Chains A and B, each alone.
Chain A
């Protein structure tokens, strides 16, 4: 993902942004294709399209394509790469919105306790063996999702009770306190079930392995709904970045917008954490990079955060599964290891910043 140039001239703004968007989309498609193609088994591009074609049209696989390649690509690798893309996109959109709403460049849904809540939920299921017949394999994601959202809801509720204007400081502080508290509960639980802690740790560090098309479908639907709602809020988010006072004087219902945006953003993070574990950094970095390239307008920042975050995540997952193959590196470690220096470069290279 190269920086596509920052247009300074207002006249050329729209045109440059258009080119930038087109280039980004092309790069993103290229990365997705790369992520699907690379791995322990290589495949030729024609074979890849034959496999995809046969599944979409429902026609039997051409005889010259190895059925093993079909299993690996269609059943194992593709859903994985697409899940990574969707999760990366959802996390970045959520990060972009949280940063705007809380007017804090370091804010994310994690600040409000999504991750610690989700971990507590997952830990609860793992340790107590709690399960509902029929959806056993979805118990962890479901519990993670519900607990994650509950924690955020509780954060916002507490913040609005304590501080009627729901100021950003209050929300961030309450979120952090609640996060620590929830983590405390989980550590307390772990003392009793030490032998399960490895499993929980694995879940928390995040992985896209063993994701199937069901995961993709759920992520896609939830992601799409969240994306559309947040995109519709983008005008109001733009105004919010000028400050709450200005925003309310310009007729924006600040409190309502903030709470809606935060809840929907947390929904996106929640579903991502549920399916991929706690993957940090991407929600922080992708929106900042996008703002550097395309400027602060949320009508562009939100969709572009999705594209950039998704592509970056697909790339990180590619690294996670190929660098030490057949071992896998936790993808959260890759996002931070690759992303942090890259982020620092983009952020400080030109000595200019815009949040």
Chain B
């Protein structure tokens, strides 16, 4: 969130925390069976906070399977997670961010170089490794309890971390997820590996609930007003003329669908490269770009030769978005989708924020009511 104003940042934070609180205090309970719900109601009535906490965890665990230490990683490899995880190596920025969100920042001993985007949250002496070319010896020397890797690192089916596994270190692979549902599973997996299962479920449920809210708000957009969006991950030049974007079967395509927009590349599958001519012929209503290697990507895109008659350029609907939000498959894709929504359908975004502000106030009141003067550990973690 480098370029947004402080106000917007606060807004988004509020929205997310409202959803988190709401989900933790209320949302999960609705998912439970009637008997549990009754029990919870009684506890709430008696403002029995510690009792509530235990039930909450139990219910969450029983409903979602949180707290069960996984025996297979997200790639399906057998893993043996140590009973206590105190030192973690994270070799993907999306995982690093989740660990920070789960309150595990201080347990991180090493990250990949891209994760240094979050260095403000990481311990000062944290080591860094090249994701594509990891130094297994140095990683092993740190004797971490757990190493999170991303599918990115594996080349031609062979894990470059094989020697770490052979050295008896638990390596948990999380390949880049293709859907929002998979992202939720990733979150729970990370939580369950690190003893933060409940918190991870909270993050996942909050993400889900936020998307539901957004798609509900966008439901009413009539078909003819739905905008076609071209997402550009680079600006074409004569030296590298291909445009990189995503087609269907990606979580980013799902994000666009959830906010009532149409992906210009939807006819393609997965991550796609398209030619300039085709991009222009798609004639998108909106262009989003996550390019951050030039000073003003919006200006550069508008200046592209031959693009003058593309609707997005003609109508000034080219926007820069935060790459750290949407490009990393974790719970922050919600923030990314909100940011896109603000650009694509600003009116709906404004309405939604107002509603959320109200929801936030209500939830805070409710939580105050439940917790009395004391604060529950889970709410704290969630907030």
The residues of A with any CB-CB pair to B shorter than 8 Å are: 39-41, 67-68, 70-72, 74-77, 80, 137, 140-141, 194-195, 199, 202-203, 207, 209-212, 215, 275, 321, 325-328
- Determine if B241 and A326 form an interchain contact, defined as CB atoms under 8 angstroms apart: no
- Cβ of A207: which chain B residues have Cβ within 8 Å of it? 241-242
- Determine if B239 and A40 form an interchain contact, defined as CB atoms under 8 angstroms apart: no
Cross-chain contact of A326 among B237, B274, B306 (Cβ < 8 A): B274
- Cβ of A77: which chain B residues have Cβ within 8 Å of it? 277
Shortest distance from the beta carbon of A273 to any chain B beta carbon, whole Å: 13
- Cβ of A203: which chain B residues have Cβ within 8 Å of it? 239-240
- Cβ of A140: which chain B residues have Cβ within 8 Å of it? 239
- Determine if B281 and A209 form an interchain contact, defined as CB atoms under 8 angstroms apart: no
Instruction: Pick the 7 closest A-B CB pairs, nearest first.
Output: A75-B306, A209-B241, A326-B278, A210-B241, A326-B274, A76-B306, A210-B238
- Determine if A328 and B275 form an interchain contact, defined as CB atoms under 8 angstroms apart: yes
A195 to B133, alpha carbons, bound, how many Å? 11
- Determine if B238 and A137 form an interchain contact, defined as CB atoms under 8 angstroms apart: yes
- Indicate if B163 sits at the interface (CB-CB under 8 A): no
Residue of B nearest to A276 (CB): B238
- Determine if B274 and A327 form an interchain contact, defined as CB atoms under 8 angstroms apart: yes
Shortest distance from the beta carbon of A126 to any chain B beta carbon, whole Å: 8
Cross-chain contact of B276 among A41, A74, A76, A194 (Cβ < 8 A): A76
- Indicate if B283 sits at the interface (CB-CB under 8 A): yes
Cross-chain contact of A215 among B238, B242, B265, B274 (Cβ < 8 A): B238
17 of the cross-chain contacts (CB-CB < 8 Å) are A40-B277, A68-B283, A68-B309, A70-B309, A71-B310, A72-B277, A194-B133, A199-B239, A202-B242, A207-B241, A209-B276, A212-B238, A321-B277, A326-B272, A326-B279, A327-B268, A327-B273
B61-96 interface bits toward A, Cβ cutoff 8 Å, 1 = contact, 0 = none: 000000000000000000000000000000000000
Q: Which of B238, B272, B307, B310 has the most CB of A within 10 A?
A: B238
- Determine if B268 and A326 form an interchain contact, defined as CB atoms under 8 angstroms apart: yes
Residue of A nearest to B283 (CB): A68
Known: A39-B277, A72-B280, A72-B281. A210 touches B307 (CB 8 A): no
Interface members, chain B 253-306 (any A CB < 8 Å): 265, 268, 272-281, 283, 305-306
- Determine if B242 and A68 form an interchain contact, defined as CB atoms under 8 angstroms apart: no
A344 to B261, alpha carbons, bound, how many Å? 51
A211 to B272, alpha carbons, bound, how many Å? 21
- Indicate if B236 sits at the interface (CB-CB under 8 A): yes
- Indicate if B132 sits at the interface (CB-CB under 8 A): yes
Shortest distance from the beta carbon of B359 to any chain A beta carbon, whole Å: 41
- Cβ of B351: which chain A residues have Cβ within 8 Å of it? none
A331 to B276, alpha carbons, bound, how many Å? 15
- Cβ of A199: which chain B residues have Cβ within 8 Å of it? 239-240
Known: A71-B309, A194-B133, A326-B268. A76 touches B280 (CB 8 A): yes
- Cβ of B275: which chain A residues have Cβ within 8 Å of it? 40, 209, 321, 325-328
Shortest distance from the beta carbon of B89 to any chain A beta carbon, whole Å: 21
- Indicate if B308 sits at the interface (CB-CB under 8 A): yes
Shortest distance from the beta carbon of B312 to any chain A beta carbon, whole Å: 12
A325 to B273, alpha carbons, bound, how many Å? 10
A41 to B309, alpha carbons, bound, how many Å? 14
Known: A40-B277, A67-B308. 6 other contacts (CB 8 A): A76-B277, A202-B240, A209-B242, A325-B275, A326-B268, A327-B268
- Cβ of B305: which chain A residues have Cβ within 8 Å of it? 75-76, 212
- Determine if A40 and B281 form an interchain contact, defined as CB atoms under 8 angstroms apart: yes
- Determine if B274 and A211 form an interchain contact, defined as CB atoms under 8 angstroms apart: no
Known: A75-B306, A210-B241. A194 touches B278 (CB 8 A): no
- Determine if B278 and A40 form an interchain contact, defined as CB atoms under 8 angstroms apart: yes
- Cβ of A141: which chain B residues have Cβ within 8 Å of it? 238
- Cβ of A39: which chain B residues have Cβ within 8 Å of it? 277
- Determine if B238 and A326 form an interchain contact, defined as CB atoms under 8 angstroms apart: no
Cross-chain contact of B280 among A71, A275, A327 (Cβ < 8 A): A71
- Determine if A71 and B308 form an interchain contact, defined as CB atoms under 8 angstroms apart: yes
A41 to B277, alpha carbons, bound, how many Å? 8
A140 to B272, alpha carbons, bound, how many Å? 25
- Determine if A41 and B237 form an interchain contact, defined as CB atoms under 8 angstroms apart: no
- Cβ of B236: which chain A residues have Cβ within 8 Å of it? 209-210
- Cβ of A76: which chain B residues have Cβ within 8 Å of it? 276-277, 280, 305-306
A72 to B304, alpha carbons, bound, how many Å? 12
- Determine if B132 and A194 form an interchain contact, defined as CB atoms under 8 angstroms apart: yes
- Cβ of B273: which chain A residues have Cβ within 8 Å of it? 327-328
Q: Which of A74, A80, A215 has the most CB of B within 10 A?
A: A80
- Cβ of A41: which chain B residues have Cβ within 8 Å of it? 277, 281
Shortest distance from the beta carbon of A66 to any chain B beta carbon, whole Å: 8
Shortest distance from the beta carbon of A190 to any chain B beta carbon, whole Å: 13
A220 to B199, alpha carbons, bound, how many Å? 65
- Cβ of A215: which chain B residues have Cβ within 8 Å of it? 238
- Cβ of A67: which chain B residues have Cβ within 8 Å of it? 308-309
A212 to B239, alpha carbons, bound, how many Å? 12
Interface members, chain B 81-136 (any A CB < 8 Å): 132-133
A37 to B278, alpha carbons, bound, how many Å? 14
Residue of B nearest to A66 (CB): B309
Interface members, chain B 150-182 (any A CB < 8 Å): none
- Cβ of A71: which chain B residues have Cβ within 8 Å of it? 280, 306-310
A325 to B335, alpha carbons, bound, how many Å? 33
A117 to B156, alpha carbons, bound, how many Å? 31
- Determine if A326 and B265 form an interchain contact, defined as CB atoms under 8 angstroms apart: yes
Residue of A nearest to B277 (CB): A76
Residue of A nearest to B268 (CB): A326
Shortest distance from the beta carbon of B284 to any chain A beta carbon, whole Å: 12
A39 to B305, alpha carbons, bound, how many Å? 18
B205-243 interface bits toward A, Cβ cutoff 8 Å, 1 = contact, 0 = none: 000000000000000000000000000000011111110
- Cβ of B133: which chain A residues have Cβ within 8 Å of it? 194
A199 to B179, alpha carbons, bound, how many Å? 28
- Cβ of B242: which chain A residues have Cβ within 8 Å of it? 202, 207, 209, 328
Q: Which of A71, A203, A212, A325 has the most CB of B within 10 A?
A: A71
A77 to B237, alpha carbons, bound, how many Å? 15
Shortest distance from the beta carbon of A324 to any chain B beta carbon, whole Å: 10
Residue of B nearest to A77 (CB): B277
A70 to B237, alpha carbons, bound, how many Å? 20
Shortest distance from the beta carbon of B323 to any chain A beta carbon, whole Å: 16
Residue of B nearest to A207 (CB): B241
- Cβ of A68: which chain B residues have Cβ within 8 Å of it? 280-281, 283, 309-310
Residue of B nearest to A327 (CB): B273
- Determine if B278 and A325 form an interchain contact, defined as CB atoms under 8 angstroms apart: yes
